[in-house]
Homo-oligomer: A and B are copies of this chain.
């Protein structure tokens, strides 16, 4: 199978860099084809702006969504964007790997999402009607592919507990896993998280790569998180709120995962 690993750490000799190398080797040993987008090494341009089209409309105000749509539909996207979209279309599975900085992905990776996720590619896809509000949240261009986060945190696992001060890790990652991965169609696997990344020794590293290896070996068999598809009848349209009979009374991020999971 084809695997794209999008890597967002500035230092090759870091823990993240080592885990990236380990992952590539493990996947290739299993016979997969691997491409790596090493965003810092690529000097990825983070800010979304008018320069994302090779033919920006001069004199007119820049409109982030509509100009993205225009560039996507007319083959006017800058080459770095089109190249990353081609990798996403090529991939059967995508891994986003990053250190959790200020409870989200590093800016350089956020800029990858903003620029590569063009209007018409990752959003603004499909018909809008009384029963179907675009191909999103379980449908879309990237449907049928798998995605997984590989994340390191400086904080301890207990800090990300159900009652931990940082918030539960599944809630901290929900805007990424549900909002960035499930949205354009990915099946999202449970994340691989390394806590307390500043305290590493050979024994811990061995245990971590053992666990990561197992996750990579089962990349195409691990059951995905059971997020509710938007157009499956579980949401009212166009309000896009859960229908009263779906998990009555439940609120918050967890309401968008079926309880059976």
Interface residue? A191 (CB, 8 A): no
**CB pair B235 A165 closer than 8 Å:** yes
- Chain A interface secondary structure, helix, strand, loop or mixed? loop
* A235, B158: Cα distance in complex, Å: 11
New contact pairs (18) apart from A164-B239, A168-B252, CB-CB < 8 Å: A10-B48, A10-B62, A11-B64, A46-B47, A46-B107, A65-B154, A102-B110, A102-B179, A102-B180, A103-B180, A104-B110, A106-B114, A156-B240, A162-B252, A163-B251, A165-B242, A165-B256, A167-B252
**Contact B254 A252, beta carbon cutoff 8 Å:** yes
B108 touches A113 (CB 8 A): no
Q: Does A205 contact B (CB under 8 A)?
A: no
Q: Is A101 an interface residue (CB 8 A)?
A: yes
CA distance A141 to B71 in the complex (A): 44
> Do the beta carbons of A107 and B110 come within 8 Å of each other?
yes
In the bound complex, residues from chain B placing their C-beta under 8 Å from that of A40 are 47, 49
Q: Does A241 reach chain B (CB closer than 8 Å)?
A: yes
A105-149 near B? 1/0 per residue, CB < 8 Å: 111101101100100000000000000000001000000000000
Alpha-carbon distance A174/B172, docked complex (angstroms): 9
Minimum distance in angstroms from A198 CB to a CB of chain B: 8
Do B46 and A46 have beta carbons less than 8 Å apart?
yes
